[in-house]
């Protein structure tokens, strides 16, 4: 499946803002066997005084920018054409939890996506007793890791209510879990916390999700969305498998990956220092059109 994707993020400030160094992770990833970036561009207004491309520890593409003058508004526009391939992870070759632990104990890997980097606390996710107890009640004895990850994500979808007003970008995981309300970021953070508590390495995937309007309704420009879902390491044979707890499904052809990390902290589309005396307004629009 080929998609033409446009992401537009605008920040407007009540008073002039000094935006120092910022890190952008907005462009789809080129992932052999998963997705291919055919073409891509990222425009920034006003033009930054410094701009540099690099890869972070996890292999995600980043753009470092800096503005030498105060700004009243910043706008980032990313345009890409991406070919997404169907994941091939439907045959369950994963071990049970004991087998997974044995595999992890013998695994010697130090790259960014090594499962060892995704087993413990991370900047936005700390171990939570309530989430751990909840997860253990779901994970039956002898189940495979893949089956457990599926069950945890299905339970989150069943018990949570999607509510954009219930949480903010910095809402703690335990708070979203207690309220059983939130958005895709909260669903994903809860899934990561639950899986890690069971001993399953888990991480955060940021990207795009194509939305299909109801039958008879026109497709609205900008109505697609940036999205988040979870990746779980299901043993050496299967590797990383991605699950979308918000929509009770495995990540598939309608999911396009931007970045992978331990939690939202590692993959935020725009991250950096900003100094302003006033308030900030953010708007975001995504178009994801199948070619």
- The whole-model pTM stands at 0.94
Mean pLDDT calculated for residue range 102-114: 95
Are 52 and 147 in the same domain? no
Are 81 and 110 in the same domain? no
pLDDT in tens, 61-97: 999 999 999 999 999 999 999 999 988 877 999 999 9
What is the predicted pLDDT for the residue at 219? 62
Pairing verdict, β 35-45 and 71-84: antiparallel
Are 127 and 67 in the same domain? no
Residue 145 near residue 234 (C-beta atoms within 8 A): yes
Are 40 and 66 in the same domain? yes
Are 172 and 229 in the same domain? yes
- Cα 167 to Cα 8, 91, 126, 149, 176: the distances in Å are 23, 36, 18, 24, 7
User: For residue 221, is pLDDT > 60?
Assistant: no
Domain with 58 in it: what CATH number?
2.60.40.2250
Are 148 and 166 in the same domain? yes
Domain with 185 in it: what CATH number?
3.10.620.30
Are 230 and 286 in the same domain? no
Are 33 and 144 in the same domain? no
Q: How far is the C-alpha of 287 from the C-alpha of 291, rounded, in Å?
A: 12
Return the percentage of the chain with pLDDT > 70, whole number.
97
Are 108 and 244 in the same domain? yes
pLDDT in tens, 259-272: 999 999 999 999 98
Are 104 and 225 in the same domain? yes
Q: Could you identify the residue written with the tokens 């940036």?
A: 226
pLDDT in tens, 175-218: 999 999 999 999 999 999 999 999 999 999 999 998 877 677 77
Domain range for 229 is: 97-265
Q: Let me know if residue 92 belongs to a domain.
A: no
Q: Let me know if residue 221 belongs to a domain.
A: yes
Q: Let me know if residue 90 belongs to a domain.
A: no
Are 75 and 209 in the same domain? no
Q: How far is the C-alpha of 243 from the C-alpha of 234, rounded, in Å?
A: 12
pLDDT-derived band at 26, boundaries 50, 70, 90: very high
What is the predicted pLDDT for the residue at 153? 98
User: For residue 276, is pLDDT > 80?
Assistant: no
Residue 212 near residue 202 (C-beta atoms within 8 A): no
Are 261 and 282 in the same domain? no
Number of domains in the chain: 2
**Which segments within 25-90 are labelled E, that is strand?**
35-45, 50-55, 61-66, 71-84
């Amino acid at each position: 499946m080929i998609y033409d994707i446009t992401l537009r993020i605008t920040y407007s400030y009540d008073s002039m803002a000094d935006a120092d160094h910022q890190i952008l992770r907005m462009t789809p990833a080129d992932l052999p066997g998963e997705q291919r970036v055919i073409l891509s561009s990222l425009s920034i207004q006003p033009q930054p005084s410094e701009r540099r491309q690099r890869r972070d520890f996890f292999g995600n593409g980043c753009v470092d920018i800096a503005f030498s003058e105060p700004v009243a508004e910043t706008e980032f526009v990313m345009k890409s054409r991406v070919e997404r391939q169907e994941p091939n992870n439907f045959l369950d070759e994963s071990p049970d939890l004991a087998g997974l632990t044995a595999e992890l104990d013998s695994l010697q890997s130090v790259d960014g996506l090594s499962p060892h980097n995704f087993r413990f606390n991370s900047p936005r996710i700390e171990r939570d007793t309530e989430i751990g107890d909840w997860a253990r009640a779901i994970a039956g004895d002898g189940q495979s890791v893949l089956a457990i990850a599926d069950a945890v994500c299905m339970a989150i979808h069943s018990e949570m209510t999607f509510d954009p007003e219930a949480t903010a970008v910095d809402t703690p995981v335990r708070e979203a879990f207690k309220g059983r309300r939130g958005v895709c970021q909260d669903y994903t953070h809860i899934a990561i916390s639950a899986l890690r508590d069971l001993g399953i390495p888990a991480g955060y995937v940021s990207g795009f999700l194509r939305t299909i309007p109801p039958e008879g309704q026109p497709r609205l420009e900008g109505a697609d969305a940036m999205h988040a879902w979870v990746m779980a390491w299901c043993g050496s044979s299967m590797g990383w498998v991605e699950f979308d707890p918000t929509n009770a499904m495995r990540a598939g052809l309608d999911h396009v990956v931007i970045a992978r990390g331990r939690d939202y902290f590692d993959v935020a589309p725009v991250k950096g220092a900003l100094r302003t005396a006033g308030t900030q307004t953010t708007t975001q629009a995504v178009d994801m059109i199948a070619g």
